[in-house]
Structure 1
Amino acid sequence: MRTWCDGAIRRLGRISVLALLWGLGVPAAHAATLDPSALPQIEAATFEVVQAKPTSDTLTYEKPLPLDLLPYQERTDKYHSIGTAFAIGHGRYVTAGHVLLAGRDSLWGAPALRDAKGNVYPIGKIEKFDLRRDFVVFTLASPPAGDAALAIDTKPTLNTVVYAVGNALGTGVVIRDGLYTSDTPEEQDGAWKWMRFSAAASPGNSGGPLLDKDGKVIGVVLMKSANENLNYALPIREVLGAPDGKAVMDARIDYRLDLFDTVQNGELKNQFALPASLADFYRDYQTRFDAYEDGLQKALLDREAANLFPNGAGSARLLHQQTIINGFPSLIVRGSDGEWGHSSTQPRYFTLDGNGYVRIGAAGHNGLIQIRRPDGADAAKFYGDAKARMDLLARTGLFQREVASEKVKITSLGKPISESTWLDRWQRPWHVAIWPLPYANALVVTYSLPVPDGSIMLMRFVPPSGLHDSRLDLDELSSFVYASYEGTLAQWKGFLADPKLQPAAFRNIHIDYDYGQRFSYASQRVAFAYPSSVQPVKPDNLLQLGFRFFLDGGKPVWDVGDVEIWKNNTSDDHNNVNVQRNIAPPSGLDDDMSSRWKKLSERQYPYNAVARYENDLMKIDAVVAPVAAGASPRVLYTAFFGTAGNQPQAEMKDKLDLLTKDMRVMEH
């Protein structure tokens, strides 16, 4: 994720995105004492920077929005105020670079200037831009008559009265006074000095002029100190002295993934020619920025390659431990101890009609979601209709729009504006869909993986300008999602009918069942079958394939490590059949793994084909070695049958024998 402010520009409410830079604790302003004769010139030369509000809404709500609760100005204004700009003469205007960049790929209109009379002026050409100094100089397509401009002072005096002029809190331009208190070196290498001043400034002031006692511009108001009530401005001489006809991209930016703590630092250094139209400027800027982030991610992954799961010593435990079957997904992440393991929060559970449900958790900056499609829901429609899936998710109340003091549930996001398929490293087909949230100038991005009982998802809410960054992250993170494939036999039927839903691993997996007769499973690794006399084969049998990551001939693969079939999908009677893959752990790994392997290889209890009674259950296990096993096979399979109540030893052994009769282990 980008940690520089440019990656975080968005609007989440009435306060503009500039609150991300400013914070909200602002001292009360002193009364301005400028000569009243200067005020008309200041008013004529200072503008709000605005973006047009969306004219249509693709969202559906549980009830009409209570827009009448909003302040009059907010509910009647056709524009969002996002900052301030001012005229410096000869048809040229200045604002903060981050204010202009708020318009990149925005769901709102392009940034424009609005004067005190409400006239709106589209931006014409971008003439100067500096990412690090955070300013832009531009023209207007049709400037106001008179070309009013502020006088300039490039040599201001310390400890004198100054005035911050700007569109504070998006409610119109105001003037507030304070002192020009000090200069402080720019953080990276002291290339210039910031002006620090005590005049109050608020979200919306960014890009406005800082004036001296005579009403002359001495700086561009840009940001607020994080720890004190001092604000920062760029000296106007830095704007005037910057080269004409050039956009300069020079900034420190870092990149990180929600997989480990390592950060890839870098310096973006690029430039392109100006003047350019606003659209061309955004295109040229975004192309370079996205390419730079591509390079940062590549550098990070190359740097971590030797220890990136499934590589490195920190992966060994996860690659050799028993398979975990869990319908709710997790993300494979590396802890501070260098060990790779599972990460996800305890999910919240929401019921749907027809035995459906939604579980919502998180891992890092990502939502982790499981949707079990309701009984009776058409499988083809569920898998093929992104809107239908998201409408089920919306029933949980995950999406809400805040209007004044009320939160209104969004019942549908409508159809996505973009859909595609992404194959992760293990050739699992993720359906990528993107929805707009126009009121918030944000996007909902989902990566949805089809599974027999529904879908699992990665989700993010992102600003439009951060879409490339988030796609870059999610493309990589998808390969680290740990997920089981489960569903009733009835649900598996719909999933197996469509090869497009299945990962590449299913090319070697063959599942067949005849209700009331027989169930069989076969892969390149193991094959087994059992008749209904072992366990009734019915539509509500719950089949779980415990996919996992492991090494096969030294090569990492994602394949089935555990096959479990429960008598029914509630499993209240605890009847189940299980076939599990086990691999010899390397020396030096956990003692419990070595102890378990010893028991397996020597057929010790409980793997001795003798039934046992534990916790009101009868259980019986046997070990099945590879067909072509040598003296010391590295792979062993266990066959298990369990049922509720105390059952006769002979009956348990008969069922185990039926389960293992046609069982073949092909790997070794």
Structure 2
Amino acid sequence: MAHDVSGAPAGRAIWLACLLLIACMTATGTATAASLAPERLPAIQAATYEVVAAKPVDDPLSYEKPLPLELLPFQERNDKYYSIGTAFAIGNGRYVTASHVLMTGANSLWGPPALRDNGGKVYAIDKVVKFSMHQDFVVFTLAEQPGSDVLELDTGAAPGQTVYSVGNAYGTGVVLRDGLYTSDTPEQQDGRWKWMRFSAAASPGNSGGPLLNQDGKVIGVVMAKSPNENLNYALPIGELMDAPDDVAAIDVRSSYQFDVFNSTLSGTLKERFALPLPLGAFLDTVMQRSNTFFDAQLAELLAQQRERLFPDGEGSTRLLHRIADMGDFPKMVARDSNGTWVLAGNEENNLRLSANGYLSSGSFGRTMLFHLRKPDDVPAKALYGDPAVPMDLLLKSGFIKRNVGGDSVMVTSLGKPHLDTTHADAWGRRWQVWEWTLPYANARLLVLALPVPNGYVGLVRSGTSIQSYDQLINARALADFAYVNLDGTLAQWRDYLAQPELHPAALRGIDIDFEYGKRFHYASPRLEVDTTPALQAIEADSVLTLGFAFFGDGGKATWDVAELWMSAKANDQDYVMLVREQAPAASMDDEDRNDWARVRERRHPYDAIARNGEDRTRITGVVDAPKGGDAQVLYTAHSVREGKQSQEAMADKLKLLLDGIKVHER
């Protein structure tokens, strides 16, 4: 799953939803020479600036090899700034750019947006004095005045005239390119005003620059490229001038989604607050208002789906009445196209690590899923206590690579996480929450990792820094829909049990105790199990898996142990298993009722008769319950042995297993 980390947000981040057009602009064709009078060019260039952000000074990441920076163009390699857009002076100490250019600085890992003139001098932005996210403009002042050159404005432009896009094309300085002002088109949200459409070439970095007429006057602010044709968009300069001073206006329609179902919530973020504000305070205010909106959108979407939401809503019944998966790779509970809640997520890659460790990874929508089996030479305290230890193991899969001049270089370490906290989900499972910064991409990597006896299972999401809050609240909500089991050798269980702060709530009511070579004991409010080596070896490398499931208990859904699986060692064909079976709901079909009847009546295969197949012999019985009784919960006991075994030998193993079991629920 090699990729550059810059994933889409979990919901719809404001900066992606506010305008279909607000995107990094791509080349639109070969530029033609500008034909403005030569004497005008110096003043235009002096009043037009690059918008830049300082590159991070320190890189906390480690790589598989030195970065081949020599592959980068000279200017890019040596520039201390990233070029992110264009701005221009309109007089009275005021400057204009696109709002989405300025918002690059929100929650950024780069330096704050600033202006750079043709001579290379950088000027800090002081205060924001006018802002519209819907119309995609911002007006601001500078802490130090660069000079007196300004661009004149013309609010009376009409289609059909020659125009010039002026901007920082591809980060190579301010250039002019000509074309035609072709038409006007209504803005997409409400049609309250019209975009100007023009054919002058615009490239990455042109956003926020001036669109000039043949007299060198500003008629619009260059915003974006049409996604389907060689036409670009500009905001008429009159719209900017007519907007109220000292006001920040956010009026953005968006759609919000959550990965476990395909329903969408439409909403509009409408906010106004007073200006001027210093740049930092302004960006913080916009983020606070936006994050509050994200919280409300997610809560409203889940509330809107309450009647259909797992585990209490429609379509949940079947999953609440079956043991769906005993694997150690996590799954997600998701609603399918029929409205039924099922297990989703694919295991796609497996990587062997040293000392019996391995990493399985896969995906569910925009989320990476993983199971990390701890190498035997990694101490449990280090694995669970230092986030860098599991992350360095995850990175061995090469899922983060940095592209430098066409060469992909694998990231081998992220250093210390920016965020290190915990999250208890709806089922009392305690996820470790880590966030790492990727300064080179102005991005962040979020991991929710659940400690399990043999390592971790978890979720990984990534996105730009501006999306990080939306990523976090969505990942926390997704944790409620994770389907996981607890698996490990008895040696791994011993280390895990010694750290109760890692345990899910369901495990706190369970007692697991054992002595190598002597005995194994399991006790919960539902079930007790005692075994000795006469049934199966009890050693450090013996394996215990607790299969968890969602099921009803006293009229309320719970997440608890529904299957217990023990083998002498990993990948052993000999094992014993206990499975919690429950009566089907009235809404379930005949097949479910027939399955339950076979258990209740002890019909084949629950008749304690050995059966052969796949080079194994199996025998199954029902634990401590009268045949044909009215119990709503029964436990079945299974013994499996490699090769062809006699009925007598299998019956003896089954009896040993059944004799050590006591059931407390019915």
TM-score surpassing 0.5? yes
Write out per-residue CA displacement over residues 183-214 of structure 1, whole angstroms, 9 at most, x where no aligned residue.
11111111111101111111111000000110
Q: Matched residue of 2:105: which SS?
A: coil
Q: How does 1:205-604 map to 2 (within 5 A)?
A: 205-571=206-572, 574-604=573-603
Aligned identity (percent) is 48
Q: 1:423 to 1:203 in 2, by over 3 A?
A: same
Shift, 1:415, TM fit? 1.1
Q: Which residue of 2 aligns with 1:45?
A: 47
The equivalent position to 1:6 in structure 2, one of 12, 15, 27, is: 15
Q: In structure 1, what is the Cα distance between the partners aligned to 2:608 and 2:491?
A: 32
Q: Matched residue of 1:579: which SS?
A: strand
Write out per-residue CA displacement over residues 306-341 of structure 1, whole angstroms, 9 at most, x where no aligned residue.
111112231111111234101110111111210111
Q: In structure 2, what is the Cα distance between the partners aligned to 1:47 and 1:429?
A: 50
Given residue 658 of structure 2, which amino acid in structure 1 is its aligned partner? T
Q: In structure 2, what is the Cα distance between the partners aligned to 1:163 and 1:376?
A: 65
Q: In structure 1, what is the Cα distance between the partners aligned to 2:211 and 2:172?
A: 19
Given residue 535 of structure 1, which amino acid in structure 2 is its aligned partner? Q
Q: In structure 1, what is the Cα distance between the partners aligned to 2:441 and 2:314?
A: 44
Write out per-residue CA displacement over residues 466-514 of structure 1, whole angstroms, 9 at most, x where no aligned residue.
1110111011001111111100111111001110110000111111111
Q: In structure 2, what is the Cα distance between the partners aligned to 1:279 and 1:45?
A: 24
Structure 1 ranges of 4+ moved more than 4 A: none
Q: Matched residue of 2:363: which SS?
A: strand
Q: Is the 8 A contact 1:46 1:208 kept in 2?
A: yes
Q: In structure 1, what is the Cα distance between the partners aligned to 2:537 and 2:394?
A: 34
Q: Which residue of 1 aligns with 2:72?
A: 70
Shift, 1:592, TM fit? 3.0
Shift, 1:631, TM fit? 3.8
Q: Is the 8 A contact 1:367 1:460 kept in 2?
A: yes
Q: Which residue of 2 aligns with 1:100?
A: 102
Structure 2 stretches of 5 or more lacking a match?
A: 1-9
Shift, 1:630, TM fit? 9.9
Q: Is the 8 A contact 1:625 1:633 kept in 2?
A: no
Given residue 456 of structure 1, which amino acid in structure 2 is its aligned partner? V
Q: In structure 1, what is the Cα distance between the partners aligned to 2:21 and 2:438?
A: 20
Shift, 1:45, TM fit? 0.4
Write out per-residue CA displacement over residues 524-544 of structure 1, whole angstroms, 9 at most, x where no aligned residue.
111111211111111111111
Shift, 1:117, TM fit? 0.5
Matching of residue 115 in structure 1 with residue 141 in structure 2: no
Given residue 447 of structure 2, which amino acid in structure 1 is its aligned partner? T
Q: 1:524 to 1:34 in 2, by over 3 A?
A: same
Write out per-residue CA displacement over residues 435-465 of structure 1, whole angstroms, 9 at most, x where no aligned residue.
1111111111111100000001111112111
Higher relative contact order (Cα pairs below 8 Å, separated by 6+ residues): 2
Q: Which residue of 2 aligns with 1:611?
A: 610
Q: 1:20 to 1:149 in 2, by over 3 A?
A: closer
Q: Is the 8 A contact 1:152 1:216 kept in 2?
A: yes
Shift, 1:396, TM fit? 1.8
Q: In structure 1, what is the Cα distance between the partners aligned to 2:409 and 2:22?
A: 25
Q: Matched residue of 1:194: which SS?
A: strand
Q: In structure 1, what is the Cα distance between the partners aligned to 2:622 and 2:513?
A: 24
Given residue 108 of structure 1, which amino acid in structure 2 is its aligned partner? W
Q: Matched residue of 2:185: which SS?
A: strand
Q: 1:536 to 1:547 in 2, by over 3 A?
A: same
Q: 1:140 to 1:23 in 2, by over 3 A?
A: closer
Given residue 633 of structure 2, which amino acid in structure 1 is its aligned partner? V
Shift, 1:4, TM fit? 5.7
Q: Is the 8 A contact 2:86 2:209 kept in 1?
A: yes
Write out per-residue CA displacement over residues 75-112 of structure 1, whole angstroms, 9 at most, x where no aligned residue.
00000000000000010000000000010011000000
Given residue 320 of structure 1, which amino acid in structure 2 is its aligned partner? H
Q: In structure 2, what is the Cα distance between the partners aligned to 1:509 and 1:51?
A: 55
Q: Which residue of 1 aligns with 2:7?
A: none
Q: Which residue of 2 aligns with 1:204?
A: 205
Given residue 615 of structure 1, which amino acid in structure 2 is its aligned partner? E
Q: Is the 8 A contact 2:25 2:205 kept in 1?
A: no
Q: In structure 1, what is the Cα distance between the partners aligned to 2:68 and 2:618?
A: 60
Shift, 1:585, TM fit? 1.1
TM-score normalised by structure 1 residue count:
0.96
Given residue 581 of structure 2, which amino acid in structure 1 is its aligned partner? N
Shift, 1:277, TM fit? 0.2
Q: In structure 1, what is the Cα distance between the partners aligned to 2:594 and 2:361?
A: 37
Q: Which residue of 1 aligns with 2:28?
A: 26
Q: Matched residue of 1:465: which SS?
A: helix
Q: Is the 8 A contact 1:428 1:503 kept in 2?
A: yes
Shift, 1:596, TM fit? 1.2
Size of the alignment, in residue pairs?
656
Q: Matched residue of 1:248: which SS?
A: strand
Given residue 101 of structure 2, which amino acid in structure 1 is its aligned partner? V
Q: In structure 1, what is the Cα distance between the partners aligned to 2:27 and 2:570?
A: 55
Q: Matched residue of 2:317: which SS?
A: helix
Q: In structure 2, what is the Cα distance between the partners aligned to 1:285 and 1:53?
A: 23
Q: Which residue of 1 aligns with 2:5?
A: none
Given residue 447 of structure 1, which amino acid in structure 2 is its aligned partner? L
Given residue 619 of structure 1, which amino acid in structure 2 is its aligned partner? R
Shift, 1:283, TM fit? 1.2
Given residue 46 of structure 1, which amino acid in structure 2 is its aligned partner? T
Given residue 595 of structure 2, which amino acid in structure 1 is its aligned partner? R
Given residue 85 of structure 1, which amino acid in structure 2 is its aligned partner? A
Given residue 655 of structure 1, which amino acid in structure 2 is its aligned partner? K
Q: 1:20 to 1:653 in 2, by over 3 A?
A: farther
Q: Is the 8 A contact 1:321 1:593 kept in 2?
A: no
Q: More displaced, 401-410 or 214-223?
A: 401-410
Q: In structure 1, what is the Cα distance between the partners aligned to 2:559 and 2:138?
A: 50
Q: Which residue of 2 aligns with 1:155?
A: 156
Matching of residue 661 in structure 1 with residue 662 in structure 2: no
Q: Matched residue of 2:347: which SS?
A: coil
Q: In structure 2, what is the Cα distance between the partners aligned to 1:246 and 1:401?
A: 40
Given residue 657 of structure 2, which amino acid in structure 1 is its aligned partner? L
Q: 1:625 to 1:568 in 2, by over 3 A?
A: same
Q: Is the 8 A contact 2:26 2:225 kept in 1?
A: no
Q: In structure 1, what is the Cα distance between the partners aligned to 2:589 and 2:319?
A: 11
Q: Matched residue of 1:586: which SS?
A: coil
Shift, 1:25, TM fit? 5.0
Shift, 1:614, TM fit? 2.1
The equivalent position to 2:58 in structure 1, one of 41, 47, 56, is: 56
Q: 1:19 to 1:516 in 2, by over 3 A?
A: farther
Given residue 107 of structure 2, which amino acid in structure 1 is its aligned partner? D
Write out per-residue CA displacement over residues 599-654 of structure 1, whole angstroms, 9 at most, x where no aligned residue.
00100011011222222211111112569x99411101001111112222222112
The equivalent position to 2:87 in structure 1, one of 85, 88, 91, is: 85
